[in-house]
Amino acid sequence: MKVTDLMTHDVRACTIHDSLNAAARIMWDHDCGCAPVVDEHGKLAGIVTDRDICMAAYTQGLPLDAIPVERVMSPRVISCARGDELDTAHRLMRTHEIHRLPVADSRGRLVGILSLSDVVNHSCGDSAAPLDAVEIAATISAIRRRRKPAALAAAASPNGDAAPARESTKPPKKTGARRRKPPTDPR
């Protein structure tokens, strides 16, 4: 089966000059977790996810309409072609630990998107030659693998800002509150 048989053809994208508010609006209106980012020629330039938007709002402390997509998007986009085999696209998702795979034409223009949900739904359907359930489980496991806490603390956001320090999970130390003696009257 080919990617074009399962991908979403009518994909909504934002431009590198849009604000995160515009990207969030696309995700809300079309019930999706990411928006591909295109340049002025419709060429795939990046991808921004709902998590990227949340983390940008948290780390930058600005309203979403004040943060340009270009500052937050991931410019390194793993994509596939509509003529690729479904197994190839699925392998890309597992290897790169991603849920969604933009589909581009030979000129790099966005033509669709394939999600892991599309692959799973196809695999669970009555179609011929479903992907092996073990392969799908391996992909989900790779995507959901937790990073080590040290890697999280050292991580930087895509725009180069350092991630905020994580708060300690230890309860605060008890400090023995000492009772003060009432002041003595020097009369």
165: in domain:
no
Report the number of distinct structural domains present in the chain: 1
Domain hosting residue 144, numbered range: 3-121+128-154
Q: What is the pLDDT of residues 151-181, one digit of tens each?
A: 554 444 444 434 443 333 333 344 444 444 4
The predicted pLDDT at position 162 comes to 40
Identify the CATH number of the domain in which residue 58 sits: 3.10.580.10
183: in domain:
no
Buried b vs exposed e over 61-100: b needs ≥16 C-beta within 10 Å?
eeebeebbbbbbbeeebbbbebebebeebbebbbeeebbb
Assess whether pLDDT exceeds 90 at residue 22.
yes
The predicted pLDDT at position 123 comes to 76
72: in domain:
yes
- Please give the residue that has the higher pLDDT: either 182 or 51: 51
The proportion of the chain whose per-residue pLDDT surpasses 90, expressed as a percent, equals: 53
What residues have CB less than 8 Å from 70, skipping those under 6 apart? 16, 17, 37, 46
What stretches of 62-183 show up as alpha helix (H) in DSSP? 69-72, 86-96, 116-124, 133-144, 149-154
186: in domain:
no
160: in domain:
no
The predicted pLDDT at position 148 comes to 62
- Please give the residue that has the higher pLDDT: either 88 or 161: 88
184: in domain:
no
142: in domain:
yes
The answer, as to whether pTM is greater than 0.75, is: no
Confidence of residue 149 (pLDDT cuts 50, 70, 90): low
Q: What is the pLDDT of residues 11-20, one digit of tens each?
A: 999 999 999 9
13: in domain:
yes
Can you tell me the distance from the alpha carbon of 80 to that of 82, in angstroms, rounded to the nearest whole number?
Answer: 7
